[in-house]
Amino acid sequence: MIIAVLGGGVLGEAVAGSLVSGGYEVVVAEKKEERIGELRKLGLNVTNNNRAAVKEADIVILCVKPKDVESAIKEVSEEIKGKILISMAAAVSIDFLKKLAPEAKIIRTMPNLAVLVREAFIAYTPDLNVTQKELEIALEVLNTLGKTCMVDEAQMDVMTAFNGGAPAYMSLIAEAMMYAGLEIGVERDLALTIVAQAMIGTGKLILQGKKTPSEICAMVATPGGVTIEGLFEMESFPIRHAFMKAIKAAVEKARKLSLSFSEH
Ligand SMILES: NC(=O)c1ccc[n+]([C@@H]2O[C@H](COP(=O)([O-])OP(=O)(O)OC[C@H]3O[C@@H](n4cnc5c(N)ncnc54)[C@H](OP(=O)(O)O)[C@@H]3O)[C@@H](O)[C@H]2O)c1
């Protein structure tokens, strides 16, 4: 199976690299000469010919910015007929894509940057004309990049803000913890390793250990102990409120983008 990745930017590079690691044959279609050189240095198969890339592919993954979706799809409108088109673009609806490529089998997705290490969460919505068999083929590809979950398309703006942005929010926590480590004299690299490993470990406690966050807190914070002292200090800062407000604002922004895009 050959997969064409349209757009070799941050996400396209991550998707292509991880699919190659997962054993797929991938061709990246990218316009910028400088970027083509960078991607080739990474060992990726790259072309500047979108039409040729889509023609030889069985599946096309769209990784261009929302503003470039229209021109990118129009360019390959003939070659994409009957093929599975996985769009990773924020804000761009299935309806919009269908107008550009009515005969493609469209699956709209919202992944996050963790596709780079094949640990992404990927929300997806298939168009109604996608058959069960086609969906299975697409999911096999997407599952190479992380965990997948079907959502209603109406949830996609929420997914853009919540899931697409999640690695940035987690990184903010990681950075704050690293600063805390530096302040108490833990060497920078060691501090970051401890924090990152704690994120992986806590994630696994939630997903595999089936613990809720409050159960984990209760198991770590013993009466009169060290951790409760730290948690007590944190109570004076509205941390949950900050996250709730930030993500709500991000959802509003994603909705505005979708709206402006559908009017575009
Ligand atoms: N980055 C993330 O964490 C993330 C997460 C979830 C979803 N997404 C979605 O993924 C998409 C790509 O995001 P990104 O962060 O990877 O953006 P990006 O770094 O700007 O990458 C897009 C790439 O596509 C190229 N391009 C533009 N038009 C093209 C065309 N017609 N054919 C081939 N290549 C073309 C761009 O070149 P130019 O720079 O010359 O235009 C650029 O190199 C967006 O729609 C975004 O919503 C991103």
**DSSP letters for 116-155:** GGT-EEEEEEE-TT--HHHHHHHHHHHHTTEEEEE--GGG
> Which two structure tokens, joined as six digits, stand for 74?
């129009």
Q: Is it the case that residue 263 has pLDDT exceeding 90?
A: no
**Strand 59-62 with 2-6, pairing:** parallel
19 with 50, same domain? yes
Residue nearest to atom 17 of ligand 1 (CA): 9
The pTM assigned to this predicted structure is 0.95
Q: What is the pLDDT of residue 260?
A: 79
Q: Is it the case that residue 8 has pLDDT exceeding 80?
A: yes
* Ligand 1 centroid from CA 238, angstroms: 35
Mean pLDDT to the nearest integer, 161-166: 98
Residue nearest to atom 15 of ligand 1 (CA): 10
Last residue of a domain, one of 119, 154, 189: 154
Residue 162 in contact with residue 247, Cβ under 8 Å?
A: yes
Q: What is the pLDDT of residue 120?
A: 98
CA 18 vs. chain centroid, Å, equals 12
35 with 114, same domain? yes
Residue nearest to atom 5 of ligand 1 (CA): 112
66 with 176, same domain? no
Residue tagged 């913890």 (tokens): 177
Q: What order of strands is seen across the sheet that includes strand 2-6?
A: 45-47, 25-29, 2-6, 59-62, 84-87, 105-110, 120-126, 146-150
Q: Tell me, using a 6 A CB cutoff, whether residue 62 lines ligand 1.
A: no
In single-letter form, the type of residue at position 252 comes to E
Q: Classify residue 242: in a domain, yes or no.
A: yes
How many degrees, rounded to 5, is the angle at CA 110 between CA 139 and CA 101?
75
Q: Tell me, using a 6 A CB cutoff, whether residue 165 lines ligand 1.
A: no
193 with 98, same domain? no
Q: Tell me, using a 6 A CB cutoff, whether residue 70 lines ligand 1.
A: no
Q: Tell me, using a 6 A CB cutoff, whether residue 157 lines ligand 1.
A: no
Q: Classify residue 262: in a domain, yes or no.
A: no
Q: Classify residue 264: in a domain, yes or no.
A: no
Last residue of a domain, one of 105, 120, 154: 154
Last residue of a domain, one of 154, 181, 213: 154
Among candidate residues 55, 68, 88, 64, the one with its CA nearest the CA of residue 8: 64
In single-letter form, the type of residue at position 15 comes to V
Q: What is the pLDDT of residue 262?
A: 73
Domain span at 241: 166-254
* Number of independent structural domains in the chain: 2
